[in-house]
Amino acid sequence: MFDQVLFFFHALLQQTGAANFTWGNLVMIAIGGTMIYLAIAKHYEPLLLIGIGFSCIVANVPGPPDVPGGPPVSALLYVVKEGGLFHYAYEGVAKLIIPPLIFLGVGAMTDFGPMIANPKLVILGAGAHLGIFVALILAKLCGFTINEAGAIGIIGGADGPMAIFVTVKLAPHLLGPISVAAYSYMALMPMIQPPVMRLLTNSRERKIEMAQLRKVTKLEKIAFPAVIAIIVNLFFPPVAPLITMLMLGNLLKEVGVTERLAKTAGGALMNVIIIILTVAIGSTMAADKFLTWDTILIVGLGLLAFLFGTASGVITAKIMNLFMKTKINPLIGSAGIASVPIAARVSHIVANQENPHNHLIFHAMGPNLAGVFGTAISGGIMLALLGVQ
Amino acid sequence: MIPDTVYGAILLSIIDFFLSFVVIAGIGVILALFPYLNRLGEIDEKKLREGGH
């Protein structure tokens, strides 16, 4: 009788995930929990971190083996398996359906006025991308292939959809860790960037107040998406799908006669896409796949890319100041790292802490938006040089 | 096109970084010309909104 009860309990235990729990699962659950904590307590990009953190936790709760004697499969991974709802969510990412739709939504929510108003500052959109190339070279030194190194480097562009896009083209097997690194660091930029920004500037520089931007007319705002779409499609066909959708979204917003479409693209559709994207990314964070040497290297290189990108943006702004009559606040340089509008917000906050009367957000949005194009251009050139269509 | 070596990675980085600057600067030049568009006329935003769907 007792033996039968023991046997029964043993069989029951095998049907649960408790027997398959590893220290790696515990580490990843702690990482997921930290993400949720930062989103709730620190308000660090909750739209991204809540979904990624939660699905990271669930992806690390082991279930019973899929087949007798096989490896344990998490509850979430059951849903991710072919036929499961989030399998198709991940396919949407892997088959590059979701990144252009994100750009459509971003375009519909974004006012490119600050970028049009101060064209001098668009150069910061290129200056802040040194991190891409530092990470690329270091990744190659670490033994990755040049295609893999290119995909790792693009994390430094701080542009999630572009990182996914370039990775799928160059090294699709690295999509999981690269998208996790890109989105996690984007969300953690309020922690990553300020120390570098403060290190490279003095108090006097951080207090610089910038003159008010000129008013950009409706005609300019309507012409902008068409002009940029033509340039990108003409010279950078590899990344044209993303920028074209970004510009379509922006045109829907600016023309004024398609308000419904703009609201849907930037509202309901964007929200659906964010839910799918964050769960798809978080579900790749199972310990057995994530806690590998390569992934840890990628995450480390991604952090370096962000640090160097921030630094090079600030330094580019300081170099520009050597030649400009009216000085710019070098803190807006770090906003050239893309990641709209997080990086611009960080520039504003750091400047505001130094001088409470300094409202840098609109000035920082110019380089921030230029950074989106900077990443796209870098990605497009990289794909072209590596012979990838 | 680019060799799969450290030298290739450095070459790719230099070309890409330099070209990015050139292209972004080019976009900046085009944007600097945008105010001239206003010589073509003015768009009445109120009328645009009225024609919306």
Output the pLDDT for position A3: 82
Residue A71, pLDDT above cutoff 70: no
Compute how many other C-beta atoms are within 10 angstroms of the C-beta atom of residue A15: 11
Closest approach of A355 to chain B, Cα-based (Å): 29
pLDDT bracket for residue A308 (50, 70, 90): very high
Give the span between the Cα atoms of A307 and B16, in whole angstroms: 19
Closest CA to A184 of A305, A70, A88: A305
The region of weakest confidence among A77-86, A122-131, A242-251 is A77-86
Which chain A positions have a beta carbon within 8 Å of B29's beta carbon? 119
Q: Which of residues 240-279 of A touch B (CB under 8 A)?
A: 255-260
Structure tokens at A86: 């989030």
Average pLDDT over residues A327-337: 94
Minimum Cα–Cα distance from B14: chain A residue:
A133
- Residue A200 contacts B where some CB pair is shorter than 8 Å: no
Apex CA A101: angle with CA A99 and CA A103, to 5°?
75
pLDDT at B44: 77
Which of B5, B10, B23 is the best residue to mutate to test the A interface, defined by the most A CB atoms within 10 Å of its own CB? B23
Residue A67 has pLDDT above 80, yes or no: no
> How far is Cα A326 from Cα A49, in angstroms, rounded to an integer?
39
CA A296 to chain centre: 18
Query: Which of B41, B48, B37 has the alpha carbon at shortest distance from A224?
Result: B37
Record: contact B42-A219, CB cut-off 8 A: yes
User: How far is B6 from chain A, CA to nearest CA, in Å?
Assistant: 6
Checking if the pLDDT of A362 tops 70, the result is: yes
Cβ contact, residue pair A374, B20, below 8 Å: yes
| Stronger pLDDT, B30 or A44, i.e. the higher one | B30
pLDDT number for residue A73: 65
Residue B31 pLDDT > 90: yes
Confidence of residue A87 (pLDDT cuts 50, 70, 90): confident
The mean pLDDT of A202-210, rounded to a whole number, is 94
- CB atoms A146 and B4 under 8 Å: yes
* pLDDT tens by residue, A333-352: 999 998 888 899 999 999 99
Give the model's pLDDT for residue A324.
92
Nearest CA in chain B to A375: B20
| Mean pLDDT of chain B, nearest integer | 89
Identity at B27, one-letter amino acid code = I
Q: What's the pLDDT at A145? A: 96
Long-range contacts of A29-36 (CB under 8 A, 24+ apart): A29/A56, A29/A57, A29/A60, A29/A61, A31/A56, A31/A285, A32/A56, A32/A57, A32/A60, A32/A282, A32/A285, A33/A57, A35/A184, A35/A187
| Radius of gyration of chain A, Cα coordinates, nearest whole angstrom | 22
The pLDDT, as a whole number, for residue A90 is 81
Structure tokens given for B11: 């070459």
pLDDT (tens digit per residue) in A211-231: 888 999 999 999 999 999 999
Q: How confident is the model at residue A375 (pLDDT cuts 50, 70, 90)?
A: very high
- Confidence class for position A6, pLDDT limits 50, 70, 90: confident
Give the 3-state secondary structure of residue A63: strand
One-letter amino acid of A105: G
Reported as a single tens digit per residue, the pLDDT across A263-292 is 999 999 999 999 988 988 888 888 888 899
Lowest mean pLDDT among A8-12, A181-185, A209-213, A255-259: A8-12
**Average pLDDT over every residue of A79-98:** 78
Where residue A160 falls among pLDDT bands split at 50, 70, 90?
A: confident
Q: A326: alpha, beta or left, given left = phi > 0 and alpha = psi -120 to 50?
A: beta
pLDDT at A75: 61
Q: What is the CA radius of gyration of chain B?
A: 21
Q: How confident is the model at residue A166 (pLDDT cuts 50, 70, 90)?
A: very high
Residue A371 has a pLDDT of 94
Residue A53: the pLDDT is: 93
Using the beta-carbon criterion (under 8 Å), do A129 and B20 form an inter-chain contact? yes
A382 near B CB under 8 A: yes
pLDDT at A72: 64
pLDDT in tens, A31-53: 999 999 999 998 887 888 899 99
CB of B36 within 8 Å of a chain A CB? The answer is no
Determine the distance from the C-alpha atom of residue A236 to the mean position of all C-alpha atoms in its chain, rounded to a whole number. 21
Block residue for tokens 């590893």: A22
Which contiguous run of DSSP H or E holds residue A65?
A: strand A62-65
A89 compared with A330, residue with greater pLDDT = A330
**Chain mean pLDDT for chain A:** 90
Measured in angstroms, the CA of A111 and the nearest CA of chain B are apart by 15
Q: Does residue A307 contact residue A144 with C-beta atoms inside 8 Å?
A: no
Q: Nearest-CA neighbor of A185 among A166, A164, A157?
A: A157
Contact A115, A122 (CB under 8 A): yes
Whether omega before A341 lies within 30 degrees of 0, making that bond cis, reads yes
Closest-CA residue to A52 (of A282, A360, A254, A256):
A282
- Two tokens at A376? 């796209």
Q: Which two tokens stand for residue A191?
A: 């922690």
**Across the interface, do A218 and B6 touch by the CB < 8 Å criterion?**
no
Q: Which of A115, A222, A227 to mutate to test the interface with B (most CBs of B within 10 A)?
A: A227
